[in-house]
Chain A
Amino acid sequence: MTRTVADLSDVARSAATLRTFLHGLPGVDQVGAEARAGALATRSIKTTAKARGIDLAIRMIDLTALEGADTPGKVRAMCAQARSPAPSDPSCPSVAAVCIYPSMVRTAADAVAGSGIHVASVATAFPSGQAPPAVKLADTRAAVADGADEIDMVLNRGAFLSGRYLDAYEEILAVKEACGAAHLKVILETGELATYDNVRRASWLAMLAGADFIKTSTGKVSPAATLPVTLVMLEAVRDFRAATGQVIGVKPAGGIRTTKDALRYLVLVNETVGEDWLDPDRFRFGASTLLNDLLLQRNKLATGRYSGPDYVTLD
């Protein structure tokens, strides 16, 4: 498939043209993609590289609370940790954002006010997306009104998997409009898309529709983020920039628990799209327990001793 730097806005003028475009994208060989991700995972990131990687990863975290049992108290505690991940160490950077349900947006916005930390709200009947379109838009508007400056929406997987690409596309367009100034992340829910070919197509669909970020997962479905899936999304983002000049961000979410995992993702970004994507404006981690492991590793690099859970915040 040869593409030139063309105006791609024509691609979605009808269901048929959008389908033809998406199905004309190059396929992804599963074994090859997984092997590439596996090879990059063997990079050895030590000492100074590790220290910089840890601080960068901390700055890229969307600290997440997405449980039915969330209360204002729980959300405020998380926001406190977001602002000051390591209270005894002022050199530790703060995270990129907090990520909560729409009902918690106001609480979170108040709690992080003035810190520069973004307020990302999930929306559009997260996590399943199985609700009437009007409800999904109302969900979005409410979150924005309460103070969310980022919206994490879910792709309509039912529409996508039944081939109704234009429906899925138009939904994203509508949500983007409802976002106003807020940035839009589109969650592909790659675990439900099942094939890398689908992940590539869904990535392009979301980017064509105006996503500012594409995100792997809701974290409620297994498998969530994986290195190969993120690799395919990074390739899509790279190719999209080559085709349109637009820079779209990537957010793997769910299942990223250790510093080792996080560093592997940074290597993936570095060697797939390049170092100018190593920035919280272009790459985020959707995670909760990851932060503490990063802090433990940070402690070890600073002190030379292995650390433990008593030395980080648990709430």
Chain B
Amino acid sequence: MRFEYAPAPESPSIVDIRSSYGLFVNGEFTDAKDGELFKTINPASEDVLAEVAAAGPSDVDSAVAAARDAYENRWRDLPGRERGKYLYRLARLIQERSRELAVLESIDNGKPIRESRDVDLPLVAAHFFYYAGWADKLRYAVPGREARPLGVAAQVIPWNFPLLMLAWKIAPALAAGNTVVLKPAETTPLTALHFAEICQQADLPPGVVNIVTGAGETGRLLVEHPGVDKVAFTGSTEVGRSIAQSVSGTRKRLTLELGGKAANIVFDDAPVDQAVEGIVNGIFFNQGHVCCAGSRLLVQESVADEVLDTLKRRMATLRVGDPLDKNTDVGAINSAAQLARIRELSEAGTAEGAQRWSAPCELPERGFWFVPTIFTGVSQAHRIAREEIFGPVLSVLTFRTPAEAVEKANNTPYGLSAGVWTEKGSRILAIADKLRAGVVWANTFNKFDPTAPFGGYKESGYGREGGRQGLEAYLA
């Protein structure tokens, strides 16, 4: 019997998307003074969702000034337990409006509603809860250090987990006593703007959180602004590098969370069915738009055929389509630009001699889509083994011995994450020891928790987000 799942749409009527949004500065929504307007679209349909202000130089000035004023007069000297209470309020409000925010995230970003509902939003709330509890315990955060905030933090976040990246930035910054000016990504501004409303509902003192929307230029103005004490950036290594250059010689503190090309290493004694789930999760979760994605499968040669057969069979059950359908596994690619890049690198893969495979799949007519794809016969010399594709494309390489696996895994300028699959505990720990990666997932993948520090080695950036270590970036 054919068991077709009927459409199971999540209703978008739960969220009220305005036709246009201003900037959020000093506790109020305000039009951009010298910026323009840009449009944000739904990548699954290419429909325009709203017009959004792009902040220009004087807007960024106002926002930084508002943050400075709030820091000195309304936030820094507040007792920690009171700051914590504001963060608890934000956490609770996020929980209360969770479904609405999840639907909005899926509409603006393209990710499946099941993911924004079950993964993104719970983590967003959890981050605020976790850091709320640190606000009045800062003396325990870093041994021997008298904890003081830095001041005004400029925060620029990417489009792949818009609200979650906002939580990762704002929660620890506020808990530590700083105020923030945050720029969401140009293609995904909406959940940040609705978060601004939540700040109003929480009665957060004006200027503590400021949201300036815009594109690369707004981001540059913000991080280069002389009035900020701290810069936090998540995005591409290329931009991260230029930010690091721009803060040289200043007093600004910097943390960066950049790209990756993680190796997911599967040994011959791996629990096969769960390893395949881990491979699928590692590269197709969030359409592969994940900095820590397991984009290189390193499979032990003796089990490569079996693992690949199981993987292909499993890929055939992935449902690609409408992000608001509750049964969708793989949603839309976030933008035309990203889709073009994924296509370009995939074509390069074929040109380099790798073999391309994807399960048969019908894609919608409008919108940006890419079918989950694997390339086998890949070697470390290929572009698709070295460059971050940031899409649902897996490059498969083989290895013979543990040492070879480690060598290949580390043979990259990146160092964000890695996966290890084996039933042997001591092997997990020995390999984890040798991997030059900030996050090692053993017999699992893409697990995140507000208590667990996350961040990269080498050109994947520096600094950690989450956990006790995540506070350090925001303390003097």
Contacts and interface: CB of A to CB of B under 8 A. Distances in A.
Asked if A and B form a direct contact in the complex, defined as CB atoms under 8 angstroms apart, the reply is yes
Interface of A: 1-3, 26-29, 31-33, 35-36, 42-50, 52-53, 56, 235, 266-267, 270-271, 275, 278-279
B1 A275 contact: yes
Contact of B8 (A28, A31, A44): A44
B277 A48 contact: no
Contact of B3 (A33, A36, A49): A49
Contact of B1 (A3, A45, A56): A56
Contact of A2 (B1, B114, B305): B305
Interface string B200-235: 000000000000000000000000000000000000
Highest count of chain A CB atoms <10 Å: which of B6, B7, B317: B6
9 nearest CB pairs, A to B: A32-B274, A44-B8, A44-B326, A49-B6, A29-B274, A29-B271, A26-B272, A278-B1, A47-B6
Contact of A32 (B278, B306, B326): B278
B8 A1 contact: no
Contacts of A270: 3
Given A44-B5, A45-B5, A48-B6, A31 B270 contact: no
A28 B317 contact: no
Contacts of B118: 42
A28 B306 contact: no
B303 interface: yes
B3 A275 contact: yes
B269 A27 contact: yes
A238 to B, nearest CB: 9
Given A1-B303, A3-B306, A52-B3, 18 more contacts: A1-B306, A28-B274, A29-B423, A29-B443, A32-B274, A36-B273, A42-B114, A42-B326, A43-B5, A43-B326, A45-B5, A45-B6, A46-B7, A47-B6, A235-B273, A267-B3, A278-B3, A279-B1
A267 B317 CA distance: 11
Contacts of A32: 271, 273-274, 277-278, 443-444
A44 B327 contact: yes
Contacts of A28: 271, 273-274
Contacts of A53: 3
B2 interface: yes
Nearest to A45: B5
Contacts, number: 79
Contact of A43 (B270, B273, B327, B444): B327
A3 B310 CA distance: 13
B144 to A, nearest CB: 37
B4 interface: yes
B444 A31 contact: yes
Interface in B276-291: 277-278
Contacts of A45: 5-6, 8
A43 B118 CA distance: 12
A46 B8 contact: yes
Nearest to A231: B273
B445 to A, nearest CB: 10
Nearest to B318: A271
A271 B317 contact: yes
A26 B317 CA distance: 22
A189 to B, nearest CB: 22
Contacts of B114: 42
A106 B68 CA distance: 87
B1 A49 contact: no
15 contacts: A1-B303, A2-B303, A26-B273, A28-B271, A28-B273, A29-B423, A29-B443, A32-B444, A44-B327, A46-B8, A52-B1, A266-B3, A275-B2, A275-B3, A278-B3
